[in-house]
Amino acid sequence: MAVNERAHVDLNNADLGDEPAILGATDCPFFTGPGGEHFTVATSLVGSRTFPSYLRAMRRADLGDDPRFATAAARRAHFAALHHIVQTWILTFSDIGALDAQLDEAKIALGEVRSLKRLSQMEWAEYWGAIQEVSDRNGGTYRLPGRPWRFSREKLQPLGDPAFQGEHNRTVFGELGLSEGEIDDYIASGALVSVSIRRTRRRRCPRRLRHGKGQQSVIADDHILNRRPPGYGGPIGQHLAEALTLGFYQAGVSVSGASAAGCSRT
């Protein structure tokens, strides 16, 4: 409903004057709750149809006679003062639950704005499977958003393990009709890129990379260090690999076999 009205106003260039679209999401005020919560409500303080809801919730009918808040234009001009009055009233409640109950009497809905991390730690997230852990295929796991649907009669399969860059090149391009030889040519030219990952014993790079006044060491998988970028060979390829390694270190990136450069800080 709110989205449709907002779309109607915007698409038709409707001139509402100082009146906001009813329940327009972009016109919702934000407040701080009794416990420091950050929340918003889907009801405008400015709109003539929604402003009386706040008066009923606060038991402040007198504000309707205040010249500063008598019209939408006046409320918009004195919005800071009006917001301060509502915010002060909100802080008189013991907790956000009591506030929510009072707002509900006036049919005002509030929604707390939470960080994604905090949301993922709630019972709600666990119940709905909002966050799932998947293997990184290198001994660890990732936490990823789960599936956005939940059905009453069907249980969705968990998220699958992620694919490495270019892992399915041959399968996909084979289905598109390319021969093995053509795919090999694309790989050799660098048009197709893939990262071959396997868990191997780590060892120190054959030489230390000098950086600034001191020396920094990296450790890397053998097969990554010995690999040559497409189109490069000999000393040039080795220099490029070292440049990538040092670039990752200078960027402060801790990477292992799952990365393109394959190095991590010690």
Residue 58 lies in a domain: yes
For range 218-228, the mean pLDDT: 36
Domain span holding position 247: 202-265
Residue 170 lies in a domain: no
Residue 135 lies in a domain: no
Residue at which a domain ends, from 62, 93, 113: 113
Tokens of 263: 């190095």
Residue 159 lies in a domain: no
Residue 15 lies in a domain: yes
Residue 183 lies in a domain: no
**How does pLDDT run across 134-143, given as a tens digit for each residue?**
888 888 888 8
What local confidence, expressed as pLDDT, does residue 60 receive? 96
Residue identified by tokens 């001994």 is 139
What local confidence, expressed as pLDDT, does residue 36 receive? 93
Q: How many Cβ atoms sit within 10 Å of the Cβ of residue 233?
A: 10
The Cα–Cα gap between 180 and 232 comes to 22
Report how many domains make up the chain: 2
What local confidence, expressed as pLDDT, does residue 117 receive? 87
The answer on pLDDT for 123 being more than 50 is yes
CATH, residue 46? 3.30.1540.10
Tokens of 11: 């698409």
Give DSSP secondary structure letters for 100-156.
Answer: HHHHHHTT--EEE---HHHHHTSHHHHHHT-EEEEE-SSS-EEEEE--S---SS--P
**How does pLDDT run across 8-26, given as a tens digit for each residue?**
777 777 777 788 776 555 5
Residue 81 lies in a domain: yes
Residue at which a domain ends, from 64, 92, 113: 113
Residue 102 lies in a domain: yes
The answer on pLDDT for 209 being more than 80 is no
Residue at which a domain ends, from 91, 113, 135: 113
